[in-house]
Amino acid sequence: MSTVTPALQLRNIWKIFGDDVSAFREEISKTPSPAELDDAGLIAAVRDVTLDISHGEIFVIMGLSGSGKSTLVRCMSRLVEPTAGELMFAGQDLLAASEDELIQIRRHKMGMVFQHFALLPHMSVLDNVAFPLEIQGIDKQTREQRASEMISLVGLSGREEYYPRELSGGQQQRVGIARSLAVEPDIWFLDEPFSALDPLIRREMQDEFLRLQDILKKTIVFITHDFDEAIRLADRIAIMKDGAVIQIGTPEDLIINPATEYVAEFTRDVSRAKVFSARMVMRPLAPDEKGNLGELLKHDVKVHEFADQAVNSEDRIGVTDDAGSIIGVIDRQSVLNVLVGRESAGSY
Amino acid sequence: MQSVRILETPVKFRWGFWLPLTAIACLGIALHLYEELTPFLVKYPRDWIIPLRFSISDLMQWLIKDFDLGLFTFKELTRSIAWILEWPLSVANSLLATGFTFSTEPGAPVLLPPAPWIAIVGIVGLLAFNLAGMRLALLVTGCFLYLVVFGQWQSAMVTLSSIIIAVPLGVSIGFALGITAYRHPLLERILSPVLDLMQTVPVFAYLVPVLFLFGFGPVAAMIATMIYATPPMVRVTILSLRQIPEELIEYGDMAGCSRRQLLRRIQVPVARDSLMVGINQVIMLSLNMVIIASMIGAGGLGFDVLSSLRRLAIGDGLEAGLAITLLAIALDRLGQAYNKRSTQSRQAGTSRSLQGARLPTLIILILIASWIAAHFFPALAVFPESLQITTSHFWDAMVKWININFFDQLEAVKTFVLINIMIPVKRFLLSTPWIVVVALIGLIGFRLGGFRLATLVIVLSLFIAVTGLWSKAMITVYLCGVSVLFAACIGIPAGILAASHSGINRVTQVIIDTLQTLPSFVYLIPVVMLFRVGDFAAMLAVIAYSLAPAVRYTILGIEQVPTHLIEAARAIGCTRSQIRWRVELPIALPQIMLGINQTIMMALSMLVITALVGTRDLGQEVYIALTKADTGRGIIAGVGVACIAIVADRLINQWAQKKRLEFGLQS
């Protein structure tokens, strides 16, 4: 994940709520503690957040309610004005953008999906999806054609004339997704998009989301309070607590090296087999082994996908890199360790 | 992100209330026993009165006579506003009532006669049919035909023409102010007390200054109407914009809406339903104002009711009153149907809106056709008098009959209530030392809302004392208090009953809907018929007028009790009456109290009108000022009424809000 210029850069972003924030702005460089802020009658919703979001990655911000994740994502689009810090979007200083520039950026380069869908109740599905194009002044025929494409992309063809209240929650969020994609945004914000849905629908929507991302390859900031969802979708995860980001890493990083007890609390019950890929559980190839390997696996296949095979066969399994050359070996014991959740030293 | 704010109770200690309360009670008794020691604490001394009313009258004189804005005087400014407003009004009036003429001179030749009754009836019928089908069309044409057949047409059209100008004006001004206040919280903070005053100062009080500034006539009446009817629109606008889910506004921002796009494409359509409630209120309040405005030259139905009340011609008054009521019902139902249809047509597709596009053409066609028809058949333009019906003799005769046959019984009821309830309360309030009342109000204010609320309510009650209105204000409090007590005793049980039986609920809704559409003056007619003038008649009128919110809020309060609490109570094994008394009522109580608060507000506004039937309170003071065209006296007394209203409102609201927070019904 190291593209040259990140899509979005946050440097020391703060958002402080309270009566007298401006007087406190000077103090921010000294990173005041929550207690100090509390004494001043202020609440820091976002504390000193620095992170980069790379092109084409799914960046998940995970935190429990009140951790400041929703405020953080709103700071990224300046829906909430950050109190201090630096915000670079596509090489442009977003905090310096004027009201008009901001409107243009939001119209053309940003898309957002909301937790409670935020569909306009007085408009049909088609009009809802076409709305962001309409306010840009695009003519009716073009925008409706584009909207129809988006609607069929999310699998709602035939429901163009429905009104939001006539749709189920999952369908409504599909409309929300289609609408946010209609302008072909460079960066796509999703604020707990599936939290208001039933578990089964949520799962279906996650698959749908991954399918779309496979086609679209957007830069995505995804907010959730559900660690399993984060693990399932993320390229990288940032964990937030009390307004601060306490760890950023890939799902595997977080499980192997939780930065704090708080992170470990989340990772403890996560099924490792679904997170770990072959690369994580393999051991280096011994010089004499090359000949007697059974089957070969790509390095990024998850353990639960080949667990049966590894446990039932006598042969060791070889792991290949993207180019197809063998880089390691998996034996039965290391797979079993992962499956029963044994933290056996050395295997990873 | 946000931490839950725990409500601060200024004094946690129970003694913080009971101890001072006992002290105040002891003080009251002591002052009563040893009145001659400190008479100035018992009765507010005359010498201490600040002659504010004279200063206000002088200020008014100065505004009218000497205030110069440079290029023109203040009076010229207000008169030119009146002149501008007169145009649309006179066009509407000409179209509906008087016909178009070359000049405004009386007796000038009529260029184009007013729209024939047949045309108006046809048009409203068509509108109603288009909005909601046959049933509404029948109802509305029925209402308008009553106006035709009972000879109320001419007056009704004068009234209607001022309504159709005042309502859109009031709605647009209110809407514009509401939006600006929503965008600029500072403006809202300034506006809020002004709106409070506009809504609580009785209309009579500002009729005089409006007269001085805008001249006698329909325009001044319309301005007074708008002052009275606009504040709810402002409030509803602010409230309904604020109720829009935060996410939708955020979405609008993210989609890159400009402020204008956000307003027109998102905020207004989403808030539409609640905005319609505001428009409806403006219509209702304007109709309510019609009679009051007739005192300063609006003419129309209001004038008919007023003049027949003065003549004690009960039958005539009743018919004109009924005409106002029917007009109100017709307009109200049309408004509701419009609101409902615009919600549905979002779904129904385009077939209906096509019809809507053809509607104006159709209306003009009807107008032209009926003008031509009326030219040949004059009966279509002016309903022939020989065919008109009147029932006024019947009503007059009935009143006579009742008064002859039931005089003793009615008198007995009246005397009983007066001697056993009303007079003792009145005596008690009048003999309570003013300082005790002020201290008591202050203490309650402090308990509920700390120093700020206490200061506010003390200042407001001192205002009444300082301006020398104390005893009149106490009579207002007594009349209001007794009426509200009765209204609560009727309204709350009725609400409880209605909340638990859907059949009764339906009947109750119809009754309170009707009660709320009746203009306040109409209530005077039957009570004067039966009980003539005096406090008792006034009280009955006030009870009838102010009953509706007590019922409505009770029903609402009980319906809002969370179902899971009722289920929990049933699971524990509560009987029905245990659920009622231990669960439903305590939780609904804050809501019920808000209803009582509304009842108090309506009672106070009605009390000013009941001054016409001879009460001796602040209302009478306002009314006398009106007849004597005494600006200062009227305004001071009016503000006095407003003070009582605001004290009651703040205390009850604060209490209710506190309870709702405690119950977790509101965050």
Note whether residue A39 is domain-resident.
no
Instruction: Compute the mean pLDDT over every residue in chain A, rounded to the nearest whole number.
Output: 87
Nearest by Cα to B526 from B226, B315, B276:
B315
Note whether residue A3 is domain-resident.
no
* A 100-139: CB under 8 A from B: 103-108, 110-112, 114-118, 120-122, 131-132, 135-136
Residue A283 and residue A248 share a domain: no
Contacts of B664 (CB under 8 A, 6+ apart): none
Residue A293 and residue A256 share a domain: no
Alpha-carbon span B88 to A342, nearest angstrom: 86
Note whether residue A90 is domain-resident.
no
**Please, are residues B517 and B284 in contact by the beta-carbon 8 Å criterion?**
yes
Residues of A in contact with B2 (CB under 8 A): 17, 43, 66
DSSP three-state, residue A177: helix
* Structure token digits, residue B430: 């009048």
Alpha-carbon span A294 to A335, nearest angstrom: 15
Alpha-carbon span A152 to A181, nearest angstrom: 12
Q: Does the model's pTM come out above 0.90? A: no
* B 93-132: CB under 8 A from A: none
Domains in chain A, number: 2
**What local confidence, expressed as pLDDT, does residue A285 receive?**
78
CA of residue A323 relative to chain centroid, distance: 28
**Please, are residues B344 and B104 in contact by the beta-carbon 8 Å criterion?**
no
Nearest by Cα to B22 from B33, B14, B34, B11:
B14
Q: Per the CB < 8 Å rule, is A132 touching B258?
A: no
On whether any CB of chain A is under 8 Å from the CB of B542, the answer is no
Query: Where exactly does CATH 1.10.3720.10 map onto chain B?
Result: 406-435+470-663
Q: Per the CB < 8 Å rule, is B1 touching A135?
A: no
Q: Per the CB < 8 Å rule, is A116 touching B245?
A: yes
Q: Per the CB < 8 Å rule, is A106 touching B254?
A: yes
**What local confidence, expressed as pLDDT, does residue A347 receive?**
43
Nearest by Cα to B546 from B604, B633, B495, B627:
B604
Residues of B in contact with A178 (CB under 8 A): none
Residue A120 and residue A215 share a domain: yes
Mark the ranges of chain B whose per-residue pLDDT is less than 70.
1-16, 102-109, 291, 342-357, 665-667
Total Cβ atoms within 10 A of residue B416: 11
B469 DSSP β-pair partners:
none
On whether any CB of chain A is under 8 Å from the CB of B246, the answer is no
Residue A280 and residue A265 share a domain: no
Residues of A in contact with B346 (CB under 8 A): 122, 163
Interface test with B, best of A114, A138, A150, A166 (most B CBs within 10 A): A114
Tell me which residue in B251, B266, B347 faces A114 most closely, judged by beta carbons: B251
Closest chain A C-alpha to B195 CA, distance in angstroms: 27
What is the residue range of A321's domain?
273-340
Residue A333 and residue A208 share a domain: no
On whether any CB of chain B is under 8 Å from the CB of A31, the answer is no
Q: Per the CB < 8 Å rule, is A163 touching B3?
A: no
Residue A149 and residue A131 share a domain: yes
Residue A182 and residue A313 share a domain: no
* Structure token digits, residue B101: 């003429």
Alpha-carbon span B19 to A162, nearest angstrom: 65
**Please, are residues B611 and B617 in contact by the beta-carbon 8 Å criterion?**
yes
CA dist list (Å): B80 to B73, B77, B164, B214 = 11, 5, 21, 9
Contacts of B3 (CB under 8 A, 6+ apart): A43
Residue A298 and residue A194 share a domain: no
How many cross-chain Cβ pairs, A to B, lie less than 8 Å apart?
A: 70
On whether any CB of chain B is under 8 Å from the CB of A70, the answer is yes
Q: Per the CB < 8 Å rule, is B254 touching A111?
A: yes
Q: What is the CATH number of the domain that holds A321?
A: 3.10.580.10
Total Cβ atoms within 10 A of residue A255: 21
Note whether residue A328 is domain-resident.
yes
Closest chain A C-alpha to B437 CA, distance in angstroms: 38
Question: What are φ and ψ of residue B594, in 5° steps?
Answer: -65, -35
Q: Per the CB < 8 Å rule, is A120 touching B2?
A: no
**Please, are residues B292 and B220 in contact by the beta-carbon 8 Å criterion?**
no
Residue of B nearest to A129 (CA): B255
**Please, are residues B100 and B111 in contact by the beta-carbon 8 Å criterion?**
yes
Contacts of B606 (CB under 8 A, 6+ apart): B520, B523, B541, B542, B545, B546
Closest chain A C-alpha to B271 CA, distance in angstroms: 10
A239 DSSP β-pair partners:
A62, A247
Last residue of a domain, one of A250, A271, A292: A271
**Please, are residues A320 and A282 in contact by the beta-carbon 8 Å criterion?**
no
Residue located via tokens 């001043």: A40
Last residue of a domain, one of A221, A249, A271: A271
Q: Per the CB < 8 Å rule, is A135 touching B247?
A: no
Question: What are φ and ψ of residue A210, in 5° steps?
Answer: -65, -35
Alpha-carbon span A85 to B68, nearest angstrom: 55
**CATH assignment of B406-435+470-663, among 1.10.3720.10, 2.60.40.10, 1.10.287.40, 1.20.140.10:** 1.10.3720.10
Contacts of A101 (CB under 8 A, 6+ apart): none
Q: Are strands A92-93 and A110-113 parallel, antiparallel or unpaired?
A: unpaired
DSSP 8-state assignment for residue B258: -
Residue A227 and residue A117 share a domain: yes
DSSP 8-state assignment for residue B390: -
Residue A254 and residue A281 share a domain: no
Q: Per the CB < 8 Å rule, is A106 touching B248?
A: no
Residues of B in contact with A105 (CB under 8 A): 256
Note whether residue A292 is domain-resident.
yes
Running along chain A, 348 residues long, what does each successive block of 10 average in pLDDT? 74 86 70 76 88 94 92 93 91 90 92 92 92 92 94 92 92 94 93 91 92 92 94 94 93 90 88 81 77 76 81 79 82 81 52
Q: What is the CATH number of the domain that holds A240?
A: 3.40.50.300
CA of residue B144 relative to chain centroid, distance: 24
Q: Per the CB < 8 Å rule, is B256 touching A122?
A: no
The length of chain A in residues reads: 348
Q: Per the CB < 8 Å rule, is B270 touching A121?
A: yes
Tell me which residue in A68, A104, A107 faces B255 most closely, judged by beta carbons: A107
Q: Per the CB < 8 Å rule, is A122 touching B250?
A: no
Nearest by Cα to A318 from A347, A346, A345, A281:
A281
Residue A226 and residue A239 share a domain: yes
Note whether residue A203 is domain-resident.
yes
Last residue of a domain, one of A213, A242, A271: A271
Residues of A in contact with B1 (CB under 8 A): 17, 43, 45, 66, 68, 70-71
Closest chain B C-alpha to A301 CA, distance in angstroms: 38
Tell me which residue in B253, B269, B349 faces A122 most closely, judged by beta carbons: B269
Q: Per the CB < 8 Å rule, is A103 touching B2?
A: no
DSSP 8-state assignment for residue A302: B
On whether any CB of chain B is under 8 Å from the CB of A332, the answer is no
Contacts of B32 (CB under 8 A, 6+ apart): B42, B431, B433
DSSP three-state, residue B536: helix
Closest chain B C-alpha to A50 CA, distance in angstroms: 19
Residues of B in contact with A75 (CB under 8 A): none
Q: Per the CB < 8 Å rule, is A74 touching B250?
A: yes
Q: DSSP letter string over B595-655?
A: HHHHHHHHHHHHHHHHGGG---SHHHHHHHHHHTT-HHHHHHHHHHHHHHHHHHHHHHHHH
**Please, are residues A225 and A232 in contact by the beta-carbon 8 Å criterion?**
no
Query: 3-class secondary structure for A74-105?
Result: HHHCCCCCCCEEEEEECCEEHHHCCHHHHHHH
On whether any CB of chain A is under 8 Å from the CB of B51, the answer is no
Alpha-carbon span A189 to B550, nearest angstrom: 49
Q: Per the CB < 8 Å rule, is A107 touching B347?
A: no
* A 156-195: CB under 8 A from B: 161, 163, 189
